[in-house]
Amino acid sequence: MAFSNIFSRPARLVLSATVFLSLAQAHTVMTTLYVDGENQGDGVCIRMNMDGYTSNYFVSPVTSKDIACGVDGEKGVSRVCPAKTSSVLTFEFREDADDVNSRPLDESHKGPAAVYMKKVSSATDSNNAAGDGWFKIWESVYDSENDKWGTTKMIENNGHISVRVPEDIEGGYYLVRTELLALHAATANPPDPQFYVGCAQVFIESNVTNPSRPETVFIGEGTYTLDNPALTFNIYDKPMALPYPPLGPPVYKPKSNPDTTEGNSQEQTEGLKPEGCIFVNGNWCGFEVPSYNNEEECWAASDDCWRQSDNCWAETQPTGYGYCTEWSKKCEEISDSCKNSRFPGPPNAGQDITPEWKKLEEGGTEIFY
């Protein structure tokens, strides 16, 4: 009876996830960070709206505090991804967070794109997104020569935006913020400009001797209002009333070839992959169950595995619902061993069973403007 009850839990959770994910096929969400072309894992180091129904929704109203890092963006997550000054950070966007083959955004959602950074004392701390400290490191507004907006170029780039970390900044912990603005409904009554924002937690290794400190701006409640002409710009005018109005500060221009000293860099101490983690799913980790040599110990290990399975469903971001089923397969194998008296165990003890992450296509780190 115990085996039957345990086995039924993931089935109910899978059904629940399937139902609400089918309702969330619209808009876009930043799901994944690549560092110098290496996939850090779906949802890993990403602050994300945890509600599967609304994870890909735009910020509403535009005056909201959520404009900094999105809904749930003030909640720090457990992982921080390492990078270096001059590293290329690539961000992936999807309409459906849980589907790696989902298109990035509807082509009608035309508008500018930008990426910001903010230095923080701790990337995993909460309540440090909205406020002062942000500086813009990249933007793609409107390319009049090719009649393409930043969002259009992102879509054509298979849902990826790549930026280079300024080579002259100081090391430490940062939030990196992606911002897309869709203007397809900007002239509606009332105007409905749609911001899609998300944040990644990163640690920047830097050995710059005299690092620059970029001029920063406030991003938070009231940063954007409908009085800003950039938010109500008419993309349907023939011809458009160019140039497009400024949106936010200018892009920071780093100093080239800054002085460096080997061994001068700060060491990352937070947000590392936990020791003993054998299954990475977003910012959630699964750990090996206790070893067993008899039926009683086996069922205890099975219970441990299924408890972790429940935690996976409860704690992972919307990018990870499908991956939780992969952890459940481990639990099913252990439960089957208990049922058929196959001891000792667990099978393949300590083996990392994290699914292989999608590789970035050739040219995926190319930076467009």
**Mean pLDDT, residues 121-144:** 98
* Domains of the chain from N-terminus onward: 2-13+274-339 (no CATH), 27-219 (2.70.50.70)
Q: If DSSP codes are grouped into helix, strand and coil, which group holds residue 306?
A: helix
- How much is the average pLDDT of 329-339? 97
Candidate from 11-20, 261-270, 301-310 with smallest mean pLDDT? 11-20
- Neighbour-count burial of 212, counting CB atoms closer than 10 A to its CB (0-12 exposed, 13-18 middle, 19+ buried): middle
> For the residues of 151-181, what is the DSSP string, one character each?
HHHHHHTTTEEEEE--TTBPPEEEEEEEEEE
Return the pLDDT at 26: 63
CA-based angle 367:255:139, to the nearest 5?
A: 30
Q: Containing H/E element for 344?
A: none
pLDDT band at 257 (very low <50, low <70, confident <90, very high): confident
DSSP for 6-74 reads: HHHHHHHHHHHHHHHHTT--SS-EEEEEEETTEE--TTTTEE----TTTTTPPBSSTTSGGGTT-TTTT
Q: Is the predicted pLDDT of residue 22 greater than 80, yes or no?
A: no
More confident residue, 1 or 178: 178
* pTM beyond 0.75: yes
pLDDT reading at 127 higher than 80: yes
Residue 362 has pLDDT above 70, yes or no: yes
Determine contact, residues 120/175, Cβ cutoff 8 Å.
yes
pLDDT for res 13: 46
83's CB contacts (< 8 A; 6+ apart) are 35, 36, 89, 165, 202, 203, 204, 205
Assign 304 to helix, strand or coil: helix
